[in-house]
Amino acid sequence: MPTHGRTFPGNPQELSAARRWTRATLDGHPHADDAALIVTELGTNALAHTVSGDGGGTFHVALTVSERTITITVTDAGGTETAPEVQHPPLDSTHGRGLALVTALADSVTIQGDDSGRTVTAELCVRADAEEPARCL
């Protein structure tokens, strides 16, 4: 299973670069757009909630591709004691829906790490056809 990784500077303009890199890396894969959206959301969280978004910060994206799965990991630079969690913001709120969106798109989401850095991993399972349930092997 090939793994592709890239570290991006911690500024908001780099989110579009991360999205383009994800699409290019997955080169026509049927889940490339979902993966790019997940990278964007998790990268945004890293920049907004950790020192990754401070001057000189970074966030790292890794994509592992197999016949049955795409595993997406985004690692931040830490600096916060709060762990990412799915929120339920008021309807008029402009923030707080990113991780909920990721969990809706992905077949599984895990969070590891501590205030020195966290990695959020989202796994997309590939279906052989539309009638088959998703299976990650």
List the domains of the chain with CATH numbers: 3-125 (3.30.565.10)
**Tens of pLDDT, residues 19-71:** 999 999 999 899 999 999 999 999 999 999 999 999 889 999 999 999 899 99
The residues pairing with 69 across neighbouring beta strands, listed in sequence order, are 125
In terms of Cα–Cα distance, which of 98, 81, 77 is closest to 8? 77
Position 133 pLDDT exceeds 90:
no
Mean pLDDT of the chain: 88
pLDDT tens digits along 62-75 = 999 998 999 999 99
Q: What integer is the mean pLDDT of 105-117? A: 93
Q: How far apart, in whole angstroms, are the C-alpha atoms of residue 126 and residue 137? A: 10
Structural contact between residues 30 and 86, judged by C-beta atoms closer than 8 angstroms: no
DSSP state, residue 68? S
Percent of the residues in the chain that have a pLDDT greater than 90, as a whole number: 67
Packed helices 98-105 and 32-49: angle between N→C axes, nearest 10 degrees: 150
Average pLDDT (3-22) is: 97
Q: Mark residue 116 as left, alpha or beta (left: phi above 0; alpha: psi -120 to 50; beta: remaining).
A: alpha
* Structure token pair of residue 37: 């959206």
Rounded Cα–Cα distance for residues 95 and 126 (Å): 30
Query: What separation in angstroms does the CA of 70 have from each of 27, 57, 122, 127, 130?
Result: 13, 26, 8, 11, 17
Cα distances (angstroms) measured from residue 21 to each of 27, 54, 59, 97? 10, 22, 14, 23
